[in-house]
Structure formats: C-alpha cells, structure tokens
Amino acid sequence: MGTGGAPNEHSMSQQLQDRLFNELEQLVLIDPHTHINPHSAASTTLADIMGYHYYTELAHSAGLPKSQIEEPGLDPKEKVGRLVTKLNDLENTVQVSWLLEMCREFFGFEGDAITSDNWEGLYDTAAAKMAEPGWEQQVLKHSKLEQVYLTNDFDDPLEGFDTSLYIPCLRTDDLVFHLPKLETRERLGKATGVEATDAKSLKSAIGRLFEHFTAKGARACAISLPPDFSPQQIDPVAVDPVLKSMLSGDSLSSDQANTLSCFVFWTLAEFCAEYKLPFDLMIGVNRSVYADGVYQGQDLFDHRTSLILYRELFNSFPQVTFPISVLAQISNQELVSYSWIFPNVVVNGHWWYSNIPTYIELDCRARLQAVPKTKNIGYYSDMYKLEFALPKFRMYRRILAHVLATDFVVNQGWSETRAIDLGKLVLRGNVERIFGR
Amino acid sequence: MGTGGAPNEHSMSQQLQDRLFNELEQLVLIDPHTHINPHSAASTTLADIMGYHYYTELAHSAGLPKSQIEEPGLDPKEKVGRLVTKLNDLENTVQVSWLLEMCREFFGFEGDAITSDNWEGLYDTAAAKMAEPGWEQQVLKHSKLEQVYLTNDFDDPLEGFDTSLYIPCLRTDDLVFHLPKLETRERLGKATGVEATDAKSLKSAIGRLFEHFTAKGARACAISLPPDFSPQQIDPVAVDPVLKSMLSGDSLSSDQANTLSCFVFWTLAEFCAEYKLPFDLMIGVNRSVYADGVYQGQDLFDHRTSLILYRELFNSFPQVTFPISVLAQISNQELVSYSWIFPNVVVNGHWWYSNIPTYIELDCRARLQAVPKTKNIGYYSDMYKLEFALPKFRMYRRILAHVLATDFVVNQGWSETRAIDLGKLVLRGNVERIFGR
Amino acid sequence: MGTGGAPNEHSMSQQLQDRLFNELEQLVLIDPHTHINPHSAASTTLADIMGYHYYTELAHSAGLPKSQIEEPGLDPKEKVGRLVTKLNDLENTVQVSWLLEMCREFFGFEGDAITSDNWEGLYDTAAAKMAEPGWEQQVLKHSKLEQVYLTNDFDDPLEGFDTSLYIPCLRTDDLVFHLPKLETRERLGKATGVEATDAKSLKSAIGRLFEHFTAKGARACAISLPPDFSPQQIDPVAVDPVLKSMLSGDSLSSDQANTLSCFVFWTLAEFCAEYKLPFDLMIGVNRSVYADGVYQGQDLFDHRTSLILYRELFNSFPQVTFPISVLAQISNQELVSYSWIFPNVVVNGHWWYSNIPTYIELDCRARLQAVPKTKNIGYYSDMYKLEFALPKFRMYRRILAHVLATDFVVNQGWSETRAIDLGKLVLRGNVERIFGR
C-alpha cells in the first residue's frame, strides 16, 4: 500500500462534520427506550456485554453451536472465551465495532480486534473496572446519560430504584397477545387485585396498571406488534363471550384471539388518552421465526406491512401521541409521510434490524427533510446494559453530524450553530417535550 | 465554531457539479404536470403560496389547529400570520426551503427564516410585486417556463386561456371512481350531451370528451389510482346491469363498483390509443385516510402495491405510452424494471411523498443507470401556483447535476458536454417528444 | 466548460479507493453462477455479445421492433448493425458501459460510443480476435477467471468439457414447475431410467440426478422461484393422486400443481442434505409477464414477497446451506436479517434487476455491516458468454472498493490491508469455502 495518500488528511467537509460531531458529543442525553434492569443496570463481567443477543446470535449464525452458548451453568469467562472464537468472522459488523468501542472507552483496550491472544487480559481488566464502587455512575457519567427509560413488565412493582433516573414505561405485549395464557392472567390478577372475567373487569384491571405506573412516574406505554396486526375498536359485547370461552379453558380461534388482542390494545389507547401517556408502537416483528435460535435471537419479520393498518387508531385518538418505530427499513417512507400528515404520529429511532449505519443514514435524511423537526425522536439505544449507550449513540451522532453537514450546512447554507441546534432537538429536546408529561 | 475549515472552499467535485448545475439552469422548461388554474396562474398574496397544502398540512401536523387554518372568511394576511407561527417547527423541511427560495428570488427576501418579526414586511412586499401588471409573465420568464401542462376536469370548457402556453390534460379520476355519484353523471351529461345509460352510451360520452380535449390541444389523459387498483378488460355485457342498478338508485357493491371503474378505465385506454394520447398513471394513493386533515392533506398510501397489477394493461395497449409516477419510493425499482422491459412504459417524475431529495436522488440514479435515456421524464412540479416551479425544478436540477457529475463524468469519464446533454434530454427533450403528438 | 477544475485531480479518498480497487483487481476469481455453455463458452462474433438479452430487451424497449431483432435466419453482422441503431438511446445504461468496457479490453476499441460510423470496423476486429486459436483461454486469463460455475439442465450428460474448469450445477426449475409438461417427464425418464409414476419413484428419479451430478463434481443445486412460492413439506400420500391425475392426462388445478411443486422442491432439499450440496435460491421472478417481449426479455416481478415464506424450509434443513439471491432490491434487508439469524442462510450476489450500481452499493454496504463476513458471497456474473465476467466483476469491485474505503478505512480506521482481506473473502474466499464440498 502506498503511504502518499493517507486518508487522515481530512477534507474540508470531513472537518465540518467532525466539528458538528464534537458539538453533538457534548450533549447530555435522555435515552427514551432501553431494556435496562434498574436493579442491575451496568455489567459485572464482559459476559454481560457479549451475552447481548446481537453477539450470541451473530456468533451462532457464524457457526457456534447453541449448546456451547447456552450450556447450563456456563461460567461467564468460559462463555466469553467461546464467543471470542467467532469474533473474527464478525469483525466487519457494526455490532462488533460497538464492542470494540466499549472496550476502548471503558477498559482502555488498545487492540484492533479481540482475539484468542488478548481476550483474557481484557476480561480481567473489565471485571476489575466493573467491580469498582460506583461503576454504574461512572458509566452514566462517561456516557453523558441523564435519564434512562425502562421497559417494565405490567406487574413490575417499580420499587427499589430511583425512578427519576430510571424512568418506568409500561410494556404491554403480554396483555395484548398473551392473555390466553393462564400465567399472564394470574400475574394481572396479582398486580391489580382485579379478576378479569369480562370486558368491564378487564378494562378496570388495565386501568389499575396505568394508575400504578403513572404514580411511579411512567412516561410511556409501549408495545411491539407483528406485521399483520391491525388495531380495531371492538364492542365489549363481542369480547365477553371470548373471555368466557377462554376462562372455561377452551383454546381460542385465531379470530377470537384477534378480537381479544384488539380489545385490549384499544383499551390501552383509551387509557393513554386518559393518563396522557404517549403510546410507543414498535411495528413489524414476527416472534420465534427461527425456533432453534439462541435466546432473543429467534425473531424476524415480514416486510409486507403498512401503516394503513393503523388508520382507524390514528383517527380515533388525536389526543394520544404515537411515537412509532418500524422494523422494516422499507417502512420508513410511510412513517415519514404519516408523521407529516397526522399530528399525533411521531417518528422514533432506528429499531433492531434497521439499526445499522446504511439504513439509519437513509432514514435520518428523509426524516429531516420532511417531518416537522419537533416530531422527530432521533435515537434510542434499546440496550440491556448501560455500557451500550455510548457506542450506539455515538454511531447515531456521527451519522446525524454527516447529514447535518451535507444536507443543511453545505447544501442549504445553514450556519453550523443552527445545524447543531437542530441536531440537539432531535437528540434530546424532543425526548423531553414529547415524553415530558 | 471554528472558521479555519469553512466549507465554502469548494472541492473539485463540487466545482464540477456547480458547472453542470449552472448549465442545466439555463434550460427553458416545459412543465409536464401541474394543477395550475390558467385563469389565475400566479399568486396574488403570500397566502396563495403558503396556502399550498404542503404548508397547511405540515403546520397542522406540527400542532396548528385546522380551525385556525380553515376558518371561514379568514383574511389572507391573517392566515399567513398564523401559519408563520409554525414555520420554525418546519424549518428543516425541504418544503420550507422552497418557500424561502421563492421569497428570495421573487421578493428579494434576505433573511434566513420567515419569523413573527419579518413576515409582515415580506407579505406586503410580495403583495405589491404580485399586483404589478404582468406578474404572471414575470414569473414565467424568471422561472424559464415555456409551457405548463394542466390538470383539467373532464367537463372543463378549456376556454378563455392560451392553450399553447397552458396545455390541457384530461384528468379522469372522477370518471373512473365517482360515476356512482349523481353529480358526476350530471356533469358528464352536460359536458357531452350524452346520457350514459349503458356501456355503449357511456363509451360514446367518454369519446366526446377526447374529441373536445384533443381539439383544444390536450397532450395527455391522466389519473391517480389507489394501491389496490388492478385494471382489467370488462365485457360491456357485464357493465350494463351495473349501470342499470346504479341509475335505479341502488348503491353498488364493491365488486360492482370495481367492474364499473375497470370498464371506464379500459375505455379511457382505448381512446388514448385512438387519439394517440399518452396515459399518465399516478399509482398508489389512498384518499381521505386522515379524515380530519386539512384540505388536500388527508391522503396517504399503502406501499404494498405492484406494477404486476398493470400487466394486462401494458400488454393490451402496446400503442399507448404510459408515463408512470409511483407514490411509494419502494416502487421505483419495479418502475425502472418495467420501463426497461415494456416499450410503452415510461418513468415520470418524483411524486408527492417521494418528492424529497433523499428519494429523488436514489430514484434518479437508478433510472439513469437502467432505463433508456429516451424513456425518462425527469421532473414535473405538480404545482398549484406558478411560483413553485422555480424552487422545485431547481431542487431537481441540483440533484441531477450531482448524479451526472458523480455517476457519469467522474465514474465513467464522460465529457461534461455529454453529461449536460443527457440532463437536458431528461429535463426537457423527452417531454417534447413523448407528449408532442 | 471551464478547465480550471478538472476532476482528474483526485482527492485523497479517491486515491484510497483506487488503491483498494487495484488490489481487488489482482484477485483471480471463481464465478459462482453463470449460464455459460461449456461447449461454446466464448463469443464468436459481436452478435453473441450484443445478443445478450440485456441489449435486445433494452433496444426493444427503446423502440426496435422484435421482428427486426429476432428475424429468422438473421445474419449476425446485420443483427449487430440493427442493434447499434439504438445504442445511443441506451448510452446512459450500465449495460452499455459493460459493452464498451468489453470492446476496449478485448478488441482495443477507443471510441466513446459504438455508432453507425464505427461499428463495422469493431465487428470485424472482434470477429478476427475471436477466431484466434485459444480465444476462450485468452478471455479466461485476461479476466482472471479460474473456475466458472454452470447452470445445467437436469438431463445434461455433463460430458465433453473440463468439469474442473466449468463446474456443473443442477438447475431444477423444470422439475419443480414444469413436471406437468410431458416433455419434462420424458426428459426425466430418459435421463434417469426411472418412470416417475408416484411419489416414491419420482423421488428415486430425482435421487439419480443428484448421483449423476455429484459424480461429475457438481457444487450446487439451483432454482429460480416466483414471488408467491412458499415451500412446504408435503406428505407423499397427498402427492400420489396428483401424479396419477397428471399422468392420466388431466390438467392440474393450481392447488394440485402447487402440491406437486412443493413436493419436488422439498425432495430437492432433502437430497441437498444427503449429498451435501448448497441449494441456491433465486427468489422473486414472474415469468412471461410481457408475452410479446424478446427472447429472455419477458420476465418481471412483484416485489411483494418475503423470506417469511421460507421459514419452514430454513428451520427444517439446518444442515443445508442456502445461498440466496433476491430479485427485488427491497428484499435486501430481509435477506441481511435472515442471514444474520439463520446459520444456514447466506447472501449471494446482486441479481438481474438489482444488478445496477445504485442498488449494489446499498445492498453491499448493508451486508458488510450486519452479516458475518464468512456468509457473504459478493458477486456472480450470471453471464451467457465469458467476455461479460470482466466488466461485471469490475463494476462490483469498484463498488466494493468504495464501500471498503468509506465504511471501513475512513470511518473505522481499518488498515488498507485488513480492508482488502475482507474484500477478497467476499469476492473469492467464501465461494471456495461455501461451495467447496
């Protein structure tokens, strides 16, 4: 390789982009969607980080047997060692770039790659750092995180943690899709003290959940939805026989199950209106497509879905804000257009299989070009452990800086200050206002 | 912000792009699809411009109540003042960049933004300019517009304006989709002198429209279509009972309505063949999805449509040219491919929700890489008032210059002259030849 | 045009990209999917090249009548002369850029375009070069091709050619979709000596094909599939009556035909498992959409398909590798995601209507960001004549070099050597390992 044209001599446009990125990096964040367990928010070993399903499923996809990843009683260090054997096959992925960035930022790792030669030292260094008192606070501070939104089971007592730092959100997949399971109904009964035997008592039970969650400072109701779900208002009269049939032990037909799902979903929207909670919709996932996949690595999607399925919902609840995430990247134009037209539809982050730079950049550009700037929630980490916020948000900030530099400063002559203000609104301001209650 | 790396020191590739853009800017245009009212083509106040549904619907989406936008008897200046309160929320949108460009070009506006502090002066300046004699001609000249294609109701008398400047086009949505409405049938009867009571007389009435329109110099028949429409040839024998049922006052089943729509649509294609008119198809819009939206701000789409639905049509009418616009950006690859294969399928512009730079660039690149250059109609403004042609075509010319510079001059070593010639063909030459009759 | 800013003064990033491209250009290739006839692999006149359906269908699309292209007994030179009349209309297409590149590399052509003034000289030069002894070897060597995979009919004797250079692959479209044709059954009977009268004997016949093909060194079983095909396991008991009905001369209902197709398809997958052959799936083509199109220029697609249709297949055959090509570019994200999750799903090349630079770049970037590097087969030529490998692979190598330069060297600080190694794996290493048996 020649050395004459080293790419570290930055062009003007790269310098501009770097300046914007550095400004965006200063911003303290609120992360509006995560899967953090507030009782154990930070990692204790590298296995907590590399056990994230992105790594286990990619390693599995690259040939590591599930039995080696999920062996009962597997020692965390041994687990990391096994995953490391596949890291070279994944070195190109953005997910591994996050891993390296975490190791560099938090544990002083200096290599180009985590290999069989260096992983043990890294593991031990990480374990030592994570064992320091205040590791959780260190991570929050270093990552410039002010608040972290949670994804709480509907029967979470929401106790024993600081709800002004870790903000509760009511996750409702189980209620909408798994009420036919006895376990779900028992959890609901236990959490609310209400036995849901008909439409009325079911509604009342759900109302109790909203009461409990909002009393604890919840900022959103959230759900993930399969691609073929289409919310409809259901007459309670049509639900009672379904509930009766379910409670008598019959298994429901798919029509009956859908009636029940729609009824619960619509009820949630009604309570969102009453309690003034945004209703986060994460649209498009099929669960357990790959039954033999690793834990949390079994879900995929059918991109043949449309926001037209939500037409009745958006029309019926003008007072409810719907921050919407779409799993299929091809859904982004619909999302942009529906948000451009419906006052209550807001674009929200870059979800899961769409959360890679190529797709984020396309989607980010379209959203900045056609959605009112106040209706654009730029990013959430979706993380399970605190350490992930830093590399994920950094990836997004880099892309955002690139789009602001190109589409606004260069192409439209915006001042850098104005572009940065737009970036900050999308990164933080909108989170505060939209979920602020 | 540092000043060392100001982005105004243009790179070579930016300079190349600027040269191509400047050449394309010299070209006098024919705008092949607009909603101009030829009796009132230019604006009289800023309310005509800001009343464009793109601004009202975005302001509404950003929180301005419909009642404030559409208050009966609302004074134009007051309306603009109200819309201005939301402009800051929309400052990032490409639509607002058009607004600023119009105000700069036509009214000498020099600010970065239209605000509560400066809008009144701007409003008054604009009103004074628009009141000058020959404003319409000034706009046409300044915008380098030679001809403007219209979208005429089927019963438009096409009188009282210069049909060599404002070119009539027969818009047929009402005929295909609203014949069951008494009003439509009355308009048809009045326009043609034919009472359409059966397939034969309906066909005859439609024929009269083609006769009238082509006598007035019409250059196209046009229609917008919902995503699930699939044209089929219908036996007249199957239509007669539907018409009979309709005329007796019965409301049609959806099957009957579809039979009638297909029959009228197919009849239009037959007359396009007979009268040698291109048939503009604008595919993919669902009307009134958001019933409480502002005027013209209620339509959205379901991106799950395919050109395979038009297979029978394209095969049956090889002698008719079909310039096709798609609403869903994801339909672009099908459009490119169908145009690559079918001699009678031509790509046409960037429609509505696809008319933003990110999507235009992707679509423009793919079209230039795989569609014969003679079958590519680059752009139309879709404007309601003449002032919009300038910023919209300029946006397109900038993107086209970028694609020509990158994909042809830099990557393939084309001369600049050759690239500019390709650009001019796409911008104007093809419009002349395809609609030239 | 000014001369001050000539774009030949390359930027740093262009220089980097050029260095990577030059390294990738050195790599000797295995082309894992072509339509080469090993008995006549190279061209004998320019008509062999310009008779490629990409040129005939584009010329036809641009207005050249089919009767002129496919006139019986048409002299090759006359055919080229006729196609040349349309080349100017197609000069913008990537397909014509391949043609020019072939003429430059193989025949010393120096013009910017093939025109009515220069084509005859070019034709004669090409004919003379092609008549040289060892032309086939010259092309292979100049194109750096080490092995070329074929697409063989199931009844191909696979004799009379060097199967270590031209690698057999079992193409199975006829078996899966055309068994109801008497001709197909006769060919099957003749090739295997088995009369397929029921599920058992049909399976046995298919097994003979695998025996024959693998004995000759076949490396893959391959099939192209319509967008609505959804493989399902079929009980042999359900197939017997369908076969009986078919053999008695009845025409099959579409349900029966689908049952038979699914049974044969599933049987192929079973034999792929038994014989350890990868099963290439090329998903999404509708045949004969444009019945009056030129030869091989009649097929298009409906982009409304999903890999969810293959869920049962991927789960049922974990031991079979499925290299997957998708016709619709919008399917790429699903392909990336399914490959990220399923160990047996591998991404494969850029097929047909997706094989243009804009779409290749998008797809290449997403695949490199989210699919394990070992599961990514970068490119195949799909060529009918050897001369096409050079320009098609060069197009891909240029795009790959651009993506490696931008996304890995510049954005992530990878060394150039590491980026080139990734490129080589994707271009060649994976082909060797995945099809290596």
The single-letter code of the amino acid at C269 is A
What residues of B are in contact with residue C57 (Cβ under 8 Å)? 340-341
Provide the ipTM.
0.97
pLDDT digits (tens, 9 = 90+) for A47-66: 999 999 999 999 999 999 99
**For the stretch B43-72, what's the b/e string if a residue is b when 16 or more beta carbons lie within 10 angstroms of its beta carbon?**
bebbbbbbbbbbbbbbbbbbebebebbeee
Chain A residue whose CA is closest to C345: A61
Q: Are C337 and A301 in contact (CB < 8 Å)? A: yes
Mean pLDDT of A261-288: 98
Q: How confident is the model at residue A11 (pLDDT cuts 50, 70, 90)?
A: confident
pLDDT given for residue B5 in this prediction:
38
Contacts of A411 in chain B (CB under 8 A): 398
Provide the token pair at A8. Answer: 């570290």
- Residue B206 backbone dihedrals phi, psi, to 5 degrees: -60, -40
Positions of E strands within C202-350:
220-225, 279-283, 322-326, 345-348
Residue found by looking up tokens 């007359």 in the block: B271
Kindly state whether C407 is in contact with chain A, defined as any CB-CB distance less than 8 angstroms: yes
H or E element in which residue A123 lies: helix A119-131
Cα nearest neighbour of B374 on chain C: C89
On whether the CB atoms of residues B122 and B78 are closer than 8 A, the answer is no
Question: What are the helix (H) ranges across B63-144?
Answer: 66-69, 76-87, 94-107, 119-131, 135-142
Of B6, B86, B300, the CB nearest to A338: B300
Is residue B373 within 8 angstroms of chain C, CB to CB?
Answer: yes
C94, B422: Cβ pair inside 8 Å?
Answer: no
The torsion angle over the Cα atoms of residues B204, B205, B207 and B209, rounded to 10 degrees, is 170
Model confidence band, residue A13 (pLDDT cutoffs 50, 70, 90):
confident
**pTM exceeding the 0.90 threshold for the entire prediction:** yes
Q: Which residues of C touch A95 (CB under 8 A)?
A: 370
pLDDT of residue B437: 61
Q: How far is B36 from chain A (nearest CA, A)?
A: 23
The pair of structure tokens assigned to A10 is: 């930055």
Amino acid at A139: V
Tell me the mean pLDDT per 10 residues along chain C, length 437. 40 91 98 98 98 96 98 97 98 98 98 97 98 97 98 98 98 98 97 97 98 98 98 97 95 97 98 98 97 97 98 98 98 98 98 98 98 98 98 98 97 97 98 91
Residue in chain C lying closest to A301 (CA): C308
Q: How far is CA C308 from CA A301, C255, C375, C382, in A?
A: 7, 20, 19, 26
pLDDT, one tens digit per residue, over A353-369 is: 999 999 999 999 999 99
pLDDT tens sequence across A426-437: 999 999 999 986
Is there a contact between C371 and A290 if contact means CB atoms under 8 Å apart?
Answer: no
Lookup: tokens for A282 = 């994460």
Pick from A6, A61, A94: CB nearest C369: A94
Q: Which of B315, B385, B351 is nearest to B225 (CA)?
A: B351
**Backbone CA torsion sign across A136, A142, A146, A148:** negative
Over chain B (437 residues), the average pLDDT of each successive run of 10 is 40 91 98 98 98 96 98 97 98 98 98 97 98 97 98 98 98 98 97 97 98 98 98 97 95 97 98 98 97 97 98 98 98 98 98 98 98 98 98 98 97 97 98 91
- Which residues of chain C lie closer than 8 angstroms to A97, CB-CB? 412
> Closest Cα to residue C269, out of C225, C227, C200, C319?
C319
Q: How far is A366 from chain C (nearest CA, A)?
A: 16
The three state secondary structure string of A356-408 is CHHHHHHHHHHHHHHCCHHHEECCCCCCCCHHHHHHHHHHHHHHHHHHHHHHH
CA distances from B135 to B102, B429, C431 (A): 14, 28, 66
Element (H, E) at C359: helix C357-370
Determine contact: B182 vs chain A, CB below 8 A: no
Beta partners for residue B345, in sequence order: B322
**For position A151, what pLDDT does the model report?**
98
Q: Which of residues 85-114 of C touch B (CB under 8 A)?
A: 86, 89-95, 97, 112
B166 strand-pairing partners:
B148
Amino acid letter, residue C243: L
Three-state DSSP at A281 gives strand
Q: Tally B–C CB contacts below 8 A.
A: 124
The answer to whether the CB atoms of C365 and A358 lie below 8 A apart is: yes
- On whether any CB of chain A is under 8 Å from the CB of B291, the answer is yes
Give the chain B residue nearest C66 (alpha carbons).
B343
Are residues C94 and B369, on separate chains, in Cβ contact within 8 Å?
yes
The pLDDT score that the predictor gives to residue A222 is 98
Query: Residue A10: what pLDDT?
Result: 60
* Best to test chain C binding among B374, B427, B430 (most C CBs inside 10 Å): B374
Contact between chains at C89 and B373 (C-beta distance less than 8 A): yes
pLDDT reported for residue B1: 33
Q: Tally the residues of chain B.
A: 437
Residues 383-402 of C with CB under 8 A from B: 398
Q: Which of C369, C408, C430 is the mutation pick for testing A, counting most A CBs within 10 A? A: C369
- For tokens 């619709």, name the residue: C328
* Six-digit token string for C117: 């003034």
3-class DSSP assignment, residue B277: coil
Kindly provide the residue ranges of all beta strands, DSSP E only, lying in C113-240, ordered along the sequence. 145-149, 166-167, 169-171, 220-225
